[in-house]
Structure 1
């Protein structure tokens, strides 16, 4: 005998314009995140600032990687949903941790301290 889950209501499918709006804002978020990551990377290269490198990596992990994982899942539907969710969430948490680390990272002083 197979067990069945209790379903209290039918899931509601949003209108097409809501789905289109959601997808558009996700793409816009990815584009803005990539632009911010690029600018942070340029700041890292120009000023040799390690916090900017962590900010760049963080934005890539938070916004770009989960979207790419979703696109791969859409192209290859045999990938388990559980793997997609786990990879996406781990990338987002790792990216936020990288951004937080960049904000708390000790700064290098311009001149060496003399004792």
Structure 2
């Protein structure tokens, strides 16, 4: 029996994968802002504080990381890859998501 090495077939090339992930992150950011806007309109219409917290939570979970990643991509493209900048952006985005999730939980418990 002839043994052949395992071959890995790449579905996407690295640049295609990065472009697809950028598109998905862009879509997540836009959807986050849309959901936050709808929740904010609900707050304004009904004067419901939980809707305000829900809106704020969605901005923190999806909107803030989107803005940070867009800024980081533009800065990294302008000044070259800087590992410290990328780590800082990821840390701020993760912290924003955790705080946003806590705000959403608070809104749902009200």
Using CA pairs under 8 Å that are at least 6 residues apart, name the structure with larger relative contact order, 1 or 2: 2
Separation of aligned partners in 1, 2:108 and 2:101: 11
Q: TM-score, normalised by structure 1?
A: 0.72
Q: TM-score, normalised by structure 2?
A: 0.75
Asked if residue 17 in structure 1 is aligned to residue 16 in structure 2, the reply is yes
Give the number of equivalent residue pairs.
93
Bigger helix share: 2
Task: Give deviations 1:33-89, integer Å, cap 9, x for gaps.
Answer: 111000000000000001100111111111111111112222223562332122111
Larger radius of gyration: 1
Consecutive unaligned residues in structure 2, runs of 5 or more = 1-9, 77-81
Asked if residue 70 in structure 1 is aligned to residue 75 in structure 2, the reply is no
Consecutive unaligned residues in structure 1, runs of 5 or more = 1-11, 106-115
Runs of 4+ residues deviating >6 angstroms: none
Separation of aligned partners in 2, 1:70 and 1:22: 12
